[in-house]
Structures are given as C-alpha cells and as structure tokens.
Amino acid sequence: MNGSPVSAPPAGGTASAHRAGLALDVADLHVTIAGSHVLQGVSFQVPSGGVTALLGRNGVGKTTTLRSVLGLLAATGRVDLLGHDVVGWPTHRIIRLGVGYVPEDRDVFAGLTVRENLRLAEAGSRPRYDDVYRLFPELHERGRQLAGTLSGGQQQMLAIGRVLLNPRPILLVDEPTKGLSPKYVSEVVSVLERIGGEATILLVEQNVHVVRRLARTIVVLDQGRVAHAGAVEDLADEDLVRRLLGVAGAS
C-alpha cells in the first residue's frame, strides 16, 4: 500500500503491558448482561503486530469481549489497551486512541452511498482513500451506489474500508467472513492478511481454515472463560479443535 494504515499510539500511554510489546492485556474481565454473567474472569494478551484470533462456540462471549474492550458494555477488571487502562472510559475516548472496529453486522448506512459512508468515517485532514481503494477497487467503482444495495461481501469491504481511512494501530474485527461467498471470503482474508503485516488485529472468526492462515496466536473462550491460549499451530491438534470448538477442522 502507499502509506501504512497504522500509526504510533498517542503520547502518554506508558503502562507496562505496552512497554512489554502487548497491544492489549485483558485481566479478570467480568460482564453481566440482563442478569446473565457472560464473561467470568476473562484474561488474555494480544501481542503488538499480527493477528490474534478469538475463537469459541456460538454464545461463549466473543462479541461481548470485543464490545467490552470498546467500552460499549459495562465491565469490571482491567483492559490495558495501547498502554491505557480503559475500563470505565467512554467509547469515543477509546476510539481516539486509534482503535478500529468492524462489527459482526457491518453497520453500513443503507440509505447512503458508498462514498457517503466513507466520508462519515473521516477523522483527520488526510483520509487514506488511495489506500482503501487500492485494497478494495469495488468501493471506488461503486462510490455512488447505495450501500443497502451492495452484496454482503461488498458491505464487508465497506465496513473494513471505513476503519482504514484513518491511522489505526489496532483493529477489532468481528466475524468478517460470516455469510460471504467464497469469492469475497478470499478477498477479505487477503486484505486482512496484508493489514496484519502492519497493524494489530484481534479477530473473532469461526472458520478454522481462515484462522490458520491469518493468525499467529489464538484465544479460545468457553462458557465465559478462557479455555485455551497459545500459538495458532495448536489448531493442528484435531482433538483440541473438536473439544473446544465442536468442529473437525484440523486436517
């Protein structure tokens, strides 16, 4: 790409986790939603640079974890993000640290054009349209098309493109390949692979083959707790994959 979609974190973040080469250090995270104790002391670390995949069966707390890191859900514990303990911070303040979020449902503005969706994401004086269009040429070609008329894969491109308009040292990406055709799965994975060479990505993903291609490290949740954390090579253990994820995907 011409220019990198990442930047140094803001001055003033000097917590030990950031000095130790961690983009994110979560410790004893608890979240209760409507009386249900969804996260029950979740602790894990995300090294700076590359992709860390957050795995687990449906309903174990993966999306809740991302939303808690962003301050969208009330939580207790510690979330050391880019050198700042952000528990209790409002979401807009966390985003200003340089956090990009691609939600599971994409959240594009259906009644606005592709170009208008991108313009709403501009946060600085020099948005990186050239980089975004180089990664996703279709967004340039469909700039005047209403976002609600795009295919699922094109909407996912738009959701990712929005967060790349501005420098983002860390991206939280939730189920980017869910419901996509094989063509768009391949395109989205290729882009995430390129981004992961320059930024830190915490990725929620169900497709073990995608995780194996993209990730360096994995964290597996089960019943609101971390059941396993290690290198992506651990997914070569088919018994582990079947026991923790309920699928056979190690071959």
3-state secondary structure the chain: CCCCCCCCCCCCCCCHHHHCCEEEEEEEEEEEECCEEEEEEEEEEEECCEEEEEECCCCCCHHHHHHHHCCCCCCEEEEEECCEECCCCCHHHHHCCCEEEECCCCCCCCCCEHHHHHHHCCCCCCCCHHHHHHHCHHHHHCCCCEHHHCCHHHHHHHHHHHHHCCCCCEEEEECCCCCCCHHHHHHHHHHHHHHCCCCEEEEECCCHHHHHHHCCEEEEEECCEEEEEEEHHHHHCHHHHHHHHCCCCCC
Q: Please give the pLDDT value at position 125.
A: 80
pLDDT 10s digits, 13-64: 444 555 569 999 999 999 999 999 999 999 999 999 999 999 999 999 999 9
Please identify which residue in the block is written with the tokens 């994401």.
Answer: 121
Q: Which CATH number fits domain 16-108+170-245: 3.30.1490.20, 3.40.50.11540, 3.10.450.350, 3.40.50.300?
A: 3.40.50.300
**The whole model's pTM is what?**
0.89
Could you tell me the residue ranges of all domains in the chain?
16-108+170-245
* CA 113/CA 106 separation, integer angstroms: 15
pLDDT at 124: 78
User: For the chain, which residues score pLDDT lower than 70?
Assistant: 1-20, 247-251
Q: Which of 100, 111, 62, 122 is nearest to 192 (CA)?
A: 100
**pLDDT number for residue 249:** 53
